[in-house]
C-alpha cells in the first residue's frame, strides 16, 4: 500500500530522512534495482571518477571524464557543484582554531580516535549491522580504521575545509556519495521510492563476495529502523567525532576551555554540512550534545535484536589495537582505556566488560586514579606536566606509527596530502608542552631516537606558544 510522505510523524522522523542531494545523484547513476544485483561496470566507473576528487581545488569547475555511461557525468557534475559549498554560517577563525587544537593534542588525538570515537560509532545496532553484513570491520578492521583516518586527517589539518590546497572537502563529498551508494544498494533501488512504498527487504543469497553484492543481498526493515545511514545515524556519528573527542579529553584530565570546545564542535558541524547532515540535528554545546548522544544511544538499545553484531565488531577493533601494541605491559591498555573513555553502558553494549582480567582492571583503576592525583599536583609546579597526556601519547604513537603510517601500505590519500600527514606526525614526535625529562621517557617507551631539535625545544618551562609552533612545523 502506498504511503504518503506527509503522514504524521514520517517526514518529521530523522530516521526516515537521508540525503536528497546525494541520493538523487546515485539514483540517476545506478538506476532502479536489478534482480541480478548491482552493475559492476557502472560501480567501477563511479569509483574511478570519485577517485579524482583529491584536493579541494580539484572541485572547482570539475568536469566528468568523457564517455561515462548514462547520466553519470551530468549527475556527478551537478552533485559536486552543490556539495562542495561550505555553509554561510561557517566561521573560518573557529575552524582554524579547531585545526590547531587537533594538532596540539597530537598523538593523544589519535588515541581518542581509536579508543573512543570509533568504538562509540558501533554502539548503534543499525550502524553496526551494515558493517557486519559486509564483514568490513571483522575481516578488514585495518582498512576500516585507515579509511576513517584518511578522512579525519585531511579535514583537521591546516586549511582542510577552507584552503584550495587542503583535502577535507574533497574527501568529505566522496564519503557522502559512498553513504548514498550504500543506501541504494541496501534498499535495492531509489531511496525516494523506498520511502513512498516501504517494505521489509528479505535477505538474499549473495552471489559474490564483493561489498556491493553483499550489501545488495542484505535485508532491511525500514518500518522498524528507518533508512540505512539515515539523518539520525549520521548526526550521531558526527557526535562521536566532536562530542566524544571532547568528552574523552575531559575524562583524561585534559579538557579544553569552553571557547575551544565550541570552536572544535563548530568545525565538525561545518564538516557535517558537507557530509549532508541537517543543520537542525547538529549541536552547539557540550550540554546539548550530551543530551542528544544519550538519547540516540537509548533509542538504539531499544532496537537490539538477539543477533547482536556489536560485540563481534568491538572484538575485532580491540584485537587490532592489541596487535599493534609492542610490549606485553601495554597489551591491555587499549581495551581498558576504551572502557574508561566510553563508560560502563557503552562497554556493556560492545561486550568489553570481560575482555581483561580482574587484576588488570583493578591495577588500571588504581593507576589511573593515581595519575590524575599526581597530575593535579604536578601542574602546580610545571604547567606542561601531565602523565595522562604522556600515556595517551605513547598509546597513540604505537597505533599511529604501526597502523596508519606503515610505509608498505600508505593511507589512500593524494600524494600532497600524504606528505602533509607525514610531516605532521614528524612534528608530533616532540611534546612541546612537556618537560624535557617527559619527552625522554616517552622516547624510551616508544623506541624513538631523540629528534635533533628536541633538547632545544623541550624545556621544563615550555611556553604556551610552543605547542602552536610545533604544530605549525607539521
The 10s digit of each residue's pLDDT in 207-224 is 666 777 777 877 788 888
d(CA 88, CA 99): 19
Average pLDDT (228-246) is 94
Neighbours of 453 (CB within 10 A): 12
Q: In residues, how long is the chain?
A: 474
221 strand-pairing partners: 200
Q: Is 312 a member of any domain?
A: no
Average pLDDT (87-112) is 91
d(CA 123, CA 131): 12
DSSP for 288-347, written as a single string: HHHHHHHHHHHHHHTT--SS--HHHHHHHHHHHHHHT--SGGGTTHHHHHHHHHHHHHHH
- Provide the pLDDT for residue 317: 84
Q: Is 426 a member of any domain?
A: yes
If asked whether residues 36 and 179 sit together in one domain, one would say yes
If asked whether residues 145 and 212 sit together in one domain, one would say yes
- Provide the pLDDT for residue 134: 54
- Provide the pLDDT for residue 300: 84
Helix/strand/coil percent split, the chain, to 5 = 65, 0, 35
Between 388 and 280, residue with greater pLDDT: 280
If asked whether residues 45 and 192 sit together in one domain, one would say yes
Burial class (CB in 10 A: 0-12, 13-18, 19+), 86: middle
- Provide the pLDDT for residue 211: 73
If asked whether residues 207 and 109 sit together in one domain, one would say yes
Average pLDDT (371-379) is 78
C-alpha cell belonging to residue 393:
601519547
Average pLDDT (305-323) is 80
- Provide the pLDDT for residue 392: 81
Average pLDDT (119-132) is 76
- Give the distance from CA 386 to its chain's centroid: 26
If asked whether residues 333 and 297 sit together in one domain, one would say no
Asked whether the predicted pLDDT for residue 282 surpasses 60, the reply is yes
Asked whether the predicted pLDDT for residue 458 surpasses 90, the reply is no
Phi-psi region of 288 (alpha: psi -120 to 50; beta: other; left: phi over 0): alpha
Average pLDDT (168-194) is 91
* Range name among 78-87, 186-195, 344-353, 416-425 with the lowest pLDDT average: 416-425
If asked whether residues 158 and 280 sit together in one domain, one would say yes
Q: Is 222 a member of any domain?
A: yes
- Closest by CA to 38, choosing from 207, 244, 286, 269, is 207
Average pLDDT (364-392) is 77
- Provide the pLDDT for residue 262: 97
Average pLDDT (13-23) is 94
Enclosing H/E stretch for 200: strand 200-201
Average pLDDT (375-388) is 76
DSSP for 112-163, written as a single string: HIIIIIHHHHTSSHHHHHHHHHHTTTTT-HHHHHHHHHHHHHHHHSTTTTT-
If asked whether residues 138 and 246 sit together in one domain, one would say yes
If asked whether residues 294 and 336 sit together in one domain, one would say no
Average pLDDT of the chain to the nearest whole number: 81
- Provide the pLDDT for residue 92: 97
Asked whether the predicted pLDDT for residue 343 surpasses 50, the reply is yes
Between 111 and 20, residue with greater pLDDT: 20
- Provide the pLDDT for residue 1: 34
Top-confidence range, 6-10, 103-107, 241-245: 241-245
Q: Is 89 a member of any domain?
A: yes
If asked whether residues 108 and 165 sit together in one domain, one would say yes
Q: Is 317 a member of any domain?
A: no
Q: How far is CA 23 from CA 20, 222, 407, in A?
A: 5, 16, 36
- Provide the pLDDT for residue 453: 37
If asked whether residues 382 and 258 sit together in one domain, one would say no
Confirm if 372 and 253 have CB atoms less than 8 A apart: yes
If asked whether residues 271 and 337 sit together in one domain, one would say no
- Provide the pLDDT for residue 66: 92
The tally of CA atoms less than 13 A away on the side-chain side of residue 351 is 13
If asked whether residues 294 and 359 sit together in one domain, one would say no
d(CA 172, CA 348): 32
Confirm if 223 and 200 have CB atoms less than 8 A apart: yes
Number of domains in the chain: 2
Asked whether the predicted pLDDT for residue 181 surpasses 60, the reply is yes
- Closest by CA to 250, choosing from 454, 437, 108, 414, is 108
Average pLDDT (136-160) is 76
Range of the domain at 215: 14-301
Q: Is 86 a member of any domain?
A: yes
d(CA 111, CA 171): 22
Confirm if 462 and 384 have CB atoms less than 8 A apart: yes
Q: Is 320 a member of any domain?
A: no
Top-confidence range, 173-182, 225-234, 454-463: 173-182
pLDDT digits (tens, 9 = 90+) for 389-418: 887 887 777 777 776 666 556 677 777 777
Between 129 and 102, residue with greater pLDDT: 102
Q: Is 70 a member of any domain?
A: yes
Amino acid at each position: 500500500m502506498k504511503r504518503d510522505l506527509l503522514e504524521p510523524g514520517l517526514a518529521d522522523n530523522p530516521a526516515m530522512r537521508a540525503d536528497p542531494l546525494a541520493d538523487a545523484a546515485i539514483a540517476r547513476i545506478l538506476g532502479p534495482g536489478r534482480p541480478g544485483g548491482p552493475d559492476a561496470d557502472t560501480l567501477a566507473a563511479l569509483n574511478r571518477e570519485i577517485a579524482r576528487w583529491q584536493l579541494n581545488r580539484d572541485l572547482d569547475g570539475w568536469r566528468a571524464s568523457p564517455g561515462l555511461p548514462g547520466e553519470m557525468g551530468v549527475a556527478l557534475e551537478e552533485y559536486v557543484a552543490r556539495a562542495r559549498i561550505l555553509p554561510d554560517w561557517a566561521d573560518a577563525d573557529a575552524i582554524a582554531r579547531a585545526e590547531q587544537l587537533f594538532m596540539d593534542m597530537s598523538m593523544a588525538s589519535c588515541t581518542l580516535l581509536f579508543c573512543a570515537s570509533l568504538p562509540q560509532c558501533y554502539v548503534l545496532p543499525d550502524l553496526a549491522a551494515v558493517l557486519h553484513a559486509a564483514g568490513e570491520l571483522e575481516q578488514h578492521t585495518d582498512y576500516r580504521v585507515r579509511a576513517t583516518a584518511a578522512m579525519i586527517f585531511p579535514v583537521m589539518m591546516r586549511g582542510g575545509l577552507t584552503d584550495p590546497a587542503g583535502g577535507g572537502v574533497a574527501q568529505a563529498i566522496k564519503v557522502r556519495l559512498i553513504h548514498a551508494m550504500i543506501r541504494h544498494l541496501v534498499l535495492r533501488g531509489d531511496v525516494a521510492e523506498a520511502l513512498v512504498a516501504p517494505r521489509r527487504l528479505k535477505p538474499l543469497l549473495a552471489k559474490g563476495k564483493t561489498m556491493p553484492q553483499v550489501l545488495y543481498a542484505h535485508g532491511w526493515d525500514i518500518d522498524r529502523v528507518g533508512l540505512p545511514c539515515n539523518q539520525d545515524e549520521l548526526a550521531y556519528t558526527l557526535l562521536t567525532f566532536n562530542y566524544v573527542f571532547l568528552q574523552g579529553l575531559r575524562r583524561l584530565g585534559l579538557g579544553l576551555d569552553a571557547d575551544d570546545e565550541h570552536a572544535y564542535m563548530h568545525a565538525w558541524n561545518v564538516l557535517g554540512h558537507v557530509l549532508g547532515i541537517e543543520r537542525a540535528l547538529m549541536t552547539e554545546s557540550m550540554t546539548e550534545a550530551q543530551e542528544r548522544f544519550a538519547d540516540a544511544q537509548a533509542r538504539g538499545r531499544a532496537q537490539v535484536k538477539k543477533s547482536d553484531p556489536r560485540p563481534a565488531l568491538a572484538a575485532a577493533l580491540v584485537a587490532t589495537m592489541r596487535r599493534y601494541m609492542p610490549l606485553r605491559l601495554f597489551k591491555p591498555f587499549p581495551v581498558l582505556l576504551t572502557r574508561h573513555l566510553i563508560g560502563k553502558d557503552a562497554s556493556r553494549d560492545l561486550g568489553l566488560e570481560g575482555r581483561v582480567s580482574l587484576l588488570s582492571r583493578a591495577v588500571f583503576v588504581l593507576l589511573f586514579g593515581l595519575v590524575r592525583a599526581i597530575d593535579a599536583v604536578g601542574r602546580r609546579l610545571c604547567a606542561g606536566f601531565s602523565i595522562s597526556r604522556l600515556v595517551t601519547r605513547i598509546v597513540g604513537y604505537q597505533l599511529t606509527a604501526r597502523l596508519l603510517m606503515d610505509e608498505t601500505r600508505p593511507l589512500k590519500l593524494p600524494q600532497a596530502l600524504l606528505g602533509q600527514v607525514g610531516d605532521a606526525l614528524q612534528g608530533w614526535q616532540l611534546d612541546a608542552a612537556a618537560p624535557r625529562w617527559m619527552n625522554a621517557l616517552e622516547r624510551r617507551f616508544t623506541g624513538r631516537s631523540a629528534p635533533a631539535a628536541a633538547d632545544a625545544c623541550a624545556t621544563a618551562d615550555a611556553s604556551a606558544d610552543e605547542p602552536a609552533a610545533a604544530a605549525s612545523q607539521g
